[in-house]
Structure 1
Amino acid sequence: MSADPRIRKELKECGEENGSGVFAVPISGDIHNLRGQILGSEDTPFQGGKFNIEIKIPSGYPFEPPKMRFITKIWHPNISSQTGAICLDILKDQWSPALTIKTALLSLQALLCAAEPTDPQDAVVAEMYMKNRAEYDRKAKEWTDQYANEDANEGPIQRICEMGFDRPSAITALEENGWNEEAAVNALLGM
């Protein structure tokens, strides 16, 4: 039996205007290929950031966890600063069919508030977190301002849109290319 009715129901629960600070929407109408977003919580280095998440719903969902990774670059011990891979037990062996896309996104939002540096995805970030918390907080805030702040990213988005590309495509290309404007344009041009 297909999980599509459940996925559609879950997407209604985590649409953009749900007030929880997390949402997910289908990409090009494909309910198995989603774009999620979590807002950085107050009183953290991630405050004010909007972090985009790639979500792939496997054919075995809800008995298999969704595949998630950060598209927006982030400095966090449990998230790869290079690939966006996430170290979170509910996205692996602790997944339960009782969990939902929204609960997974809320768990990611909670992870930003309570890192687990002893079980890192990024050892360099975890070491900084444990040995020099002030430097970690400074760098996490710097990355949030640089990569997850809409105002800071508006210039490159606008310039790419002026080339004739639509805004969602421009944002996706920039995110997938680490906000390197030239690489994003090359990706959009298929180079």
Structure 2
Amino acid sequence: MANVVVNTTSPMAGRRLNRDVNRLLAAGYHTTVDDDMTNLDVRLEGPMGTAYEGGVWTVNVAMPQEYPLKAPRVRFVTKILHPNIEFTTGLVCMNVFKQAWSANYDLVNIFETFLPQLLRHPNPHDPLNHHAAAIMKRSEQDFRDTVSMFLRMYAMPIVLPGQSKDSENLEKRSSDLSLSDLISDDDDD
């Protein structure tokens, strides 16, 4: 194994980050890691029983130098409609991580606990995405239908001929459409 330079303040923090990345990989998450382990792209599947079920997102995790004392920055690369996730940048409401984060947590906790809970229980009363929050406040069914539309547009796994379901590729789709193009201003009730 090649020596990996880790962007942390101490050798102990570097060992911890190496361990946590390896635990994430061992847990079966499709993960791309840069050379110094400061940026990870991780494949996240929508939790069963939610409006996000069936979707697959690429989530970027940026590791701070103070990890694990400071929470990583989490951002959805693949577009997602959620009241607590900024639509354009994909940034996740940091209150979710800053309040709950502890040095006892690791990267697996983000993908097995924090993000699934965020997708299961969106909070329209503390939104980063005001359009999504307005839809959710107006009608749970309208919210599910709109999430489903966005899921089909951005987060459907692409299976190429000859590929098994296990080797699905998520096409990183970009669009010139913005949320405001798809949802009219009168949704801001």
- Band of TM-score, shorter chain: 0.7 to 0.9
Task: Flag structure 1 segments of 5+ consecutive residues without an equivalent.
Answer: 155-167, 181-191
- Relative to the length of structure 1, the TM-score reads 0.73
Q: Which amino acid aligns with 1:118?
A: H
Task: Work out whether 1:50 is the aligned partner of 2:60.
Answer: no
CA deviations 1:98-148 (Å, max 9, x no partner) are 111111222112210111111111111111101122111111011111211
Map 1:34-73 onto structure 2 (within 5 A): 34-73=40-79
Q: Which amino acid aligns with 2:110?
A: A
Q: Do the aligned partners of residues 93 and 43 (structure 1) sit closer, same or farther apart at CA in structure 2, a change above 3 Å counting?
A: closer
Task: Flag structure 2 segments of 5+ consecutive residues without an equivalent.
Answer: 1-9, 161-168, 177-189
Map 1:172-187 onto structure 2 (within 5 A): 174=172, 178-179=174-175
Aligned-pair CA distance for 1:24? 6.1
Q: Do the aligned partners of residues 58 and 66 (structure 1) sit closer, same or farther apart at CA in structure 2, a change above 3 Å counting?
A: same
Partner of 2:84: 78
For the residues of structure 1 that align with 2:82 and 2:54, how far apart are their CA atoms?
Answer: 16
Deviates more, 1:130-139 or 1:90-99: 90-99
- Relative to the length of structure 2, the TM-score reads 0.74
Q: Do the aligned partners of residues 102 and 11 (structure 1) sit closer, same or farther apart at CA in structure 2, a change above 3 Å counting?
A: same
Q: Do the aligned partners of residues 89 and 24 (structure 1) sit closer, same or farther apart at CA in structure 2, a change above 3 Å counting?
A: farther
Greater per-residue helix proportion: 1
**8 Å Cα contact 1:34/1:55 also seen in 2:** yes
Pick the aligned partner of 1:31 from 32, 37, 52. 37
Partner of 2:18: 8
Number of residue equivalences: 158
For the residues of structure 1 that align with 2:123 and 2:94, how far apart are their CA atoms?
Answer: 9
**8 Å Cα contact 2:27/2:108 also seen in 1:** no
Task: Work out whether 1:134 is the aligned partner of 2:141.
Answer: yes
Pick the aligned partner of 2:27 from 15, 18, 26. 18
CA deviations 1:148-168 (Å, max 9, x no partner) are 11138x6xxxxxxxxxxxxx9
Map 1:157-172 onto structure 2 (within 5 A): 171=171
Map 1:71-150 onto structure 2 (within 5 A): 71-106=77-112, 107-150=114-157
**8 Å Cα contact 2:84/2:127 also seen in 1:** yes
Q: Do the aligned partners of residues 67 and 24 (structure 1) sit closer, same or farther apart at CA in structure 2, a change above 3 Å counting?
A: farther
